[in-house]
Structure 1
Amino acid sequence: MTAREPRVVLDRIRGITWDDDFSVSLGHARSRALLMREYLRRAALWARAYGAEEAWPFFDVAEYVDPSVELDAEIAAELDAYIRGNVGTPSIQKSCRGAVHFAAVRAETKAELPDLPDMYEPLLLMFERGGGYAIEQFIDLQGVAIPRGSLENNLSATPFLTLAPATLDALDGRGRITYYAKISEGYPRSSPRGIVRRRVIGNDEETHDEAFTRNLRWEPTEYLRLYELGHNDIDHVEITEAEAAAFIETMTEKLTGNTGNTGNS
């Protein structure tokens, strides 16, 4: 893990748009749901590591990791003023304070930290892609609602580590989306020839088939339709969003040389 300076995290929080314009959050509904699920998983890992299960999921992990580390007085005052003026719900306020406080702990603590992924990074990215959340029967992300689940369920959830903005953008899209990997000899599910997706929109089930191309974007494809008609020799298998994200990020790295953010920091 690499330390993040508290002021860097504070500046990220100050750059977030928290208003009630849902257009941004709706446009990023899928990636925001993935990021929240990954936050819940990471928070469960940290909570279990420090005996903070009762505080999970939205809490200041720094208080458990090294309570002797305090925020610089100037940063603490700026953070408090910003939160009081801009961040409405107590849960989000606690998460923002926790993210900045934990940055200080990671930079200053002499304690040995566990080999766990950055707890707050998925949550910060989710905030940056459309604002906050509301906790009701589900976690409402202003465009999609997901179950909180139990700590135990989240501990065993599949990791989602591909957090590069371009990858997250590629996972967003209207409609019900199903991903497929094109497989053949030498191109298994874990390293397919390519991926395609089918988006079904509305009650009329308007269908859009798209392939992720070397142009690093989704473009229309006839592959699935031709396969259904028996005119395609290349087979395919349904895959998860996490598998699609891994392919997109690998292709992006290969074609651009940009390693992006894999979420392991």
Structure 2
Amino acid sequence: MSNNPSRNVSDRLRAIDWADDAAAFRHAHSRALLMREYLRRAALWAQAYEAEQSWPFFDITGHVDAGVTIPPDVAEELEQLLKELAPASLRTTCRGAVRWAELRAAHGDLPKDLPDPYEPLLLMYERGGGYYLEEYLDLNGVMIPLRDVRSNASATPFITLAPATLDALDAEGEMTYFAKISDGYPQHSPRGIVRRRVDDDGRTHDEAFTRNLRWEPTEYLRLYDLGHNETDHVRITEIEAAAFIESLTEKFTETS
């Protein structure tokens, strides 16, 4: 890795297979979460610097310090890459992410309460390329509404960006997550989590995230429905499930 921050981001962008539709579909769930998190972070920066009219896909550095520049060789290589990419807003965010790296290196006085705006978007690009912007945001596998600055700024944060966590959220089909709760194990710190996944052929799969740090088949939900399981559960969001997965992964990685 280079000591040049903008070079590092440019290299990440150049390493992406922007035409990998298979990866986009394979990572549809995590890409949607990452895009929503980018929209949230970008909205916070837009509000902080009175740039709401430029949101969502914009060069934040231009509103913080327009004088920031990137090395000419990095700029040239970046523009060569961007010739092949669309839409124009995607090119804007790529330039923005590279310039942001230079801004962070040059300014130690950036607001501490505002998160890195571009990292979720870079991770999304690395997990299957870009997007198409029409009435909805089309991520090549899932479509999400754009909404407005205020609603995005107030959205629930998705801060668990570790690759293993993102991978654990990706699977075929529609998923519903549940937290197993009991005395001493509230919803935010449950005994465990399970999910009911309905694949593209309509088949149902019940799975638990285990200490083996992977999803494995479980009879818990079926037995509960039959009245044979006393441990209760509540429905949770993907973001809550991600927090549990990351916490469990960190715990068992540290002790292994």
1:56 aligns with 2:78: no
CA displacement 1:143-191 (0-9 Å, x = unmatched): 0100001111101100000000110110111111000000111111111
What SS does the aligned partner of 2:176 have?
A: strand
Aligned 8 A contact 1:183 1:192 in 2: yes
- What amino acid is the match of 2:66? P
Shift of 1:115: 2.2
Counterpart of 1:207 (choices 204, 208, 212) is 204
What is the RMSD of the two structures over their aligned residues, measured on CA atoms?
1.6
Aligned AA (1:252): T
Amino acid at match of 1:248: I
TM-superposed CA distance for 1:80, in Å, is: 1.3
**TM-score, normalised relative to structure 1:** 0.92
Q: Which amino acid aligns with 1:118?
A: D
Write the deviation string for residues 96-122 of structure 1: whole angstroms up to 9, x where unpaired: 000000110110136543421110000
Change (3 A) 1:230 1:111: closer
- In the alignment, does 2:202 pair up with 1:221? no
Q: How is 1:183-198 mapped onto 2 (pairs within 5 angstroms)? A: 183-198=181-196
Matches within 5 A, 1:131-170: 131-170=129-168
Give the 5 Å matches for 1:1-265.
Answer: 5-19=5-19, 21-84=20-83, 86-109=84-107, 111-202=109-200, 205-257=202-254
Kept in 2: contact 1:18–1:130 (CA 8 A): yes
Moved over 2 A (4+): 109-115
| Distance across 2 between alignment mates of 1:44 and 1:129 | 23
Q: What does residue 263 of structure 1 align with?
A: none
Partner SS state of residue 57, structure 2: coil
| Structure 2, unaligned runs of 5 or more | none
Q: Secondary structure at the match of 2:155?
A: coil
TM-score (norm 2): 0.95
Give 1:234 deviation, angstroms.
0.6
| 2:104–2:110 Cα contact (<8 Å) kept | no
Count of paired positions: 253
Kindly tell me: are residues 186 and 80 of structure 1, through their superposed partners in 2, closer, same or farther at Cα, counting changes over 3 Å?
A: same
Amino acid in the other structure paired with 1:136: E
